[in-house]
Amino acid sequence: MKTERGYIKRKPTRCQVKRRLSAAIAAVYSVITTCMLLPQSAFATNPIAQTVYTADPAPMVYDNTCYVYTSHDADGSTYFTMPDWKCYSSTDMQNWTDHGVVLSGTDFSWAEENTAWAAQCVERNGKFYMYVTLVPAATGGRAIGVAVADSPEGPFKDALGKPLIGPNWDYIDPTAFVDEDGQAYLYFGNPQLYYVKLNEDMISYSGNVNKVDMTTSAFGTRSGGDERHQTLYEEGPWFYKRNNLYYLVYAASGIPETIHYSTSSSPTGPWTFRGEIMTSGGGSFTNHPGVCDFRGKSYFFYHTGNLPGGGGFTRSVCVEEFTYGQDGSIPKIERSKEGPKQIAMLNPFERVEAETICWESGLETEVCSAGGINIANIESNDYLMLSKVDFAEGATSFLASVSSAEQGGTIELRLGSVSGTLIGTCDVPGTGGWQNWKTVSTTISGASGTQDLYLVFKGGGGFLFNVDWWQFESQANEPDENGYYFHSTFENGTENWSGRGAASVKTSAAEAYAGSQSLLVSGRTGSWNGTLRTLSTSVFKPGEAYSFSANVMQVDGSSAETVYLKLEYTDSQGETQYSTIATAVAVNGTWTQLANESYTIPEGATDLRLYLESAEGTFDFYADDIIGAIEGTQIEGAGQPSVTLGDLNNDGRIDGIDLTLAKRGLLYGFTDPLQELAADVNQAADVTVADLVLLQLYLTGQTDGFTTADQAK
Ligand code: FUB
């Protein structure tokens, strides 16, 4: 689905896009688009996802993040046609990151496709268990399946290859909870409610399927209900415990559904009916609750049919904040467009996934070759908005990872609205493929304080480009008292450094060269993957020299690996160039310094990107104390691993074996970076015939040592 306010475009295929719109259609399109782009006040978070229809929310708080798993109504559904389950997360409750499809109905070999109804994910001992509703192909009816993952974002795998419970027409809508005593429960059912006691492995259960006593004192009285619908309870139970009170929140009243709840002092009842939380309405005849506490606040998730094109079979997940009463009661909750108050500002100075969105128009998301998800199918005037972005004292540059099989386009960066203050325009070139990623950047002016940020995409016809991630940077124009223009210590975040290629970066206290944290670079799929930051040409001027230093520790490469500090830039011909600033050998588990006191930024260079990579391998590495300073600044660092020049095999003697190793290395390449370092006897940064000559002179007694003065020889 492609949502635009007021209408929906069906997702075109890439081929369809190549078809030219007729002039008449294009004119109508342009009128509609112009109307949609009138300035307006900030959009709000509800529904939390606008790129697809989502339903049956199941929140889970893990690692200071609020995740919500949703089912997925196929575009244009006229029944519950539901292919898979999606996952979204937020740390501020307004901006949500799309983690894509984490589990699909087709991942269950025993299930009919498009029957992926309500699900819930819970964590136990670092594993994530997703309980799902499906139709077993062989028997019909409904059944509960279970899938397991090592991360909240999946990938999840069917744990059993068969249903956990069922088939039975009543068995839908599982909700799981692990009690403090370690006993886990799984409730489910429509229109009767059932539970089982899950075993510790979470993928089997003990005893029978227990049917809950459906009394009116437990679940309220339904007027005009038949034999199986005496109480208000209908489906979609959400089971949890708070302050020693057990809660069952559920869809009630039949069609259209309300949300009611019951409580108990025991996990298995008896239950006491407590009343209504949400009335029917919201453009969907079903509703489905999910409740969680996150960062000291309580949240109620539900679904509506309120997206354009929405309805009973094309629903959308929403969220509201609420406060429990003293007695544990849940108040009546109104549907809103604004959703909860934002509880944290969005930090634009760390890498932000492009699929982190408060509101968007026209975008879709897809699996990204560099890992995770990217935004896709971007057409001119599509946009996304991020709520309350904290630019603090100001931003000086913007960078983004982009791809385009066509001509690309531009990203306009605006504040407050789609036509608000323009703080920068980033050009996106063709990159030769929809998954060929390139980092582009532009300078920024006029962004400071807290702002709603709009990325407005512009270009010609058809799809323009994709975006994987973006980030702002702030750079000082004057050096500090040490002569440093920047000094990345990673004590307070990733400080303008982001992943290069598929690599991701995060701060880590596991290793530190100085202070207590460093930058962990992981997830590399090629030696060129690493970490990068932009350098502003108003600070680092082309044609002028500067001092650079970085400390690196590799942890899971071989005993010694060659690492590089390099500059990627665009030359005056518009070609991308890569220039080595410093090379070092990183011994496993030891900090190594890459330093160059006088590196000249090439004349005519633009789009400067400083980066760390390795010669070979995809090992994780840490980086710390990365500094850019005035030329000649001697920057203290970890230094280089010590080798004895000429003693290639490190046996305490310089002899013919070392000369043979040096010759072989020069002819066929060195496999051991420490040998290469020892072979560079004139310390001219690479091994040449001059080094072999010097070694020969040493062995024949014509010289008694090596100095850098030998470089001239
Ligand atoms: O999404 C399909 C079904 O609709 C769910 O299983 C029910 O809870 C209702 O929301």
Domain boundaries of the chain, sorted by first residue: 23-177+278-322, 352-474, 484-630, 656-712
Confidence of residue 22 (pLDDT cuts 50, 70, 90): very low
Which token pair is 325? 């009463």
d(CA 631, CA 544): 9
Q: How far is the CA of 189 from the centre of ligand 1 (A)?
A: 11
Q: Write out pLDDT tens, residues 196-247.
A: 999 999 999 999 999 999 999 999 999 888 888 999 999 999 999 999 999 9
Q: In the chain, pLDDT over 70 holds for what percent of residues? A: 93
* CATH classification code of 656-712: 1.10.1330
Closest residue CA from atom 1 of ligand 1:
117
Q: How confident is the model at residue 43 (pLDDT cuts 50, 70, 90)?
A: low
Q: How far apart are CA 336 and CA 45, in angstroms?
A: 9
Task: Please give the distance, rounded to the nearest whole angstrom, from the Cα atom of residue 396 to the centre of ligand 1.
Answer: 48
Higher per-residue pLDDT: 111 or 40: 111
Q: Which of 3.40.50.970, 1.25.40.80, 2.60.120.260, 3.30.1540.10 would CATH assign to domain 484-630?
A: 2.60.120.260
The CATH H-level (homologous superfamily) assignment of domain 23-177+278-322 is Glycosyl hydrolase domain; family 43 (2.115.10.20)
Q: Compute, in angstroms, the gap from residue 384 CA to the centroid of ligand 1.
A: 29
Structure-token pair, residue 457: 């995409």
Indicate the top mutation candidate among 73, 172, 280, 313 to test ligand 1's pocket, ranked by most ligand atoms within 8 A of CB. Answer: 172
* 709 pLDDT more than 50: yes
Q: Can you tell me the mean pLDDT for 525-554?
A: 93
Measured between alpha carbons, how far is 470 from 374 in angstroms, rounded to an integer? 11
Percentage of the chain lying above the pLDDT 90 cut: 80
352-474 against 484-630: fold identical? yes
Architecture of domain 352-474: Sandwich (2.60)
Q: Would you state the pLDDT for residue 542? A: 95
User: What is the mean predicted confidence (pLDDT) over 658-668?
Assistant: 96
The per-residue pLDDT of the chain, averaged, comes to 91
pLDDT of 301 reads: 98
Report which protein residue has its CA nearest ligand 1's atom 3: 117
Indicate if the pLDDT at residue 9 is higher than 80: no
Ligand 1 centroid – CA 119 distance (Å)? 9
Q: Judge whether residue 574 has pLDDT over 90.
A: no
The residue among 477, 617, 14, 68 whose CA lies nearest residue 291 is 68
pTM of the predicted model, to two decimals? 0.75
The pLDDT score that the predictor gives to residue 557 is: 84
Ligand 1 atom at minimum distance from 287 CA: 10
Q: What is the 3-state secondary structure (H, E, C) of 150-212?
A: CCCCCCCEECCCCCCECCCCCCCCCEEEECCCCCEEEEECCCCCEEEEECCCCCCEEEEEEEC
Ligand 1 atom closest to the Cα of residue 315 is: 1
Pocket of ligand 1 (CB under 6 A): 55-56, 71, 80, 117-118, 133, 172-173, 235-236, 251, 286, 288
Query: What is the number of the ligand 1 atom nearest to the C-alpha of 55?
Result: 1
The model's pLDDT over 298-319, given as tens digits with 9 standing for 90+, comes to 999 999 999 999 999 999 999 9
What pLDDT, on the 0 to 100 scale, is given for residue 660?
Answer: 97
